[in-house]
Structure 1
Amino acid sequence: MVIVHEKEFLLKDLTTEGLLGEDRRLGEVCSKRVYRILMAQCGSIKTDDVEEGADFFSRSI
């Protein structure tokens, strides 16, 4: 069974091509933001809400 903490970091090693052609990792912060946005119950949650202490998967408006 995979716990939420592990799920948040599944994308951290995903690489993308940067503007200058170098490969860059997505990283833990971005992986966590993507996971929380996709799993949020409220459709109006923003990526900054995650950093500002938004609830794991719900946000009251």
Structure 2
Amino acid sequence: MRIQVDSDACVGSGQCALALPEVFDQDDADGRVVLLDDRPPAGLHGAVREAASRCPVRAITAQ
């Protein structure tokens, strides 16, 4: 799995970071998504998809 984030589209809702803090965080300055691991282990793939689905503007893609 490879994760990509569109930080320009991100509105800083923080749903991804709340759902999966091992993979996502928020920038202290503007609250936008910070990707901590763009290739998480297989055991986190389901959680990554769930976190991505929580993004209100679909700024996260996981393939």
TM-score (norm 1): 0.27
Q: Compare CA radii of gyration and give the structure with the larger one.
A: 1
Comparing both structures, which one devotes a greater share of its residues to helix? 1
Higher relative contact order (CA 8 A, sep 6+): 2
TM-score (norm 2): 0.26
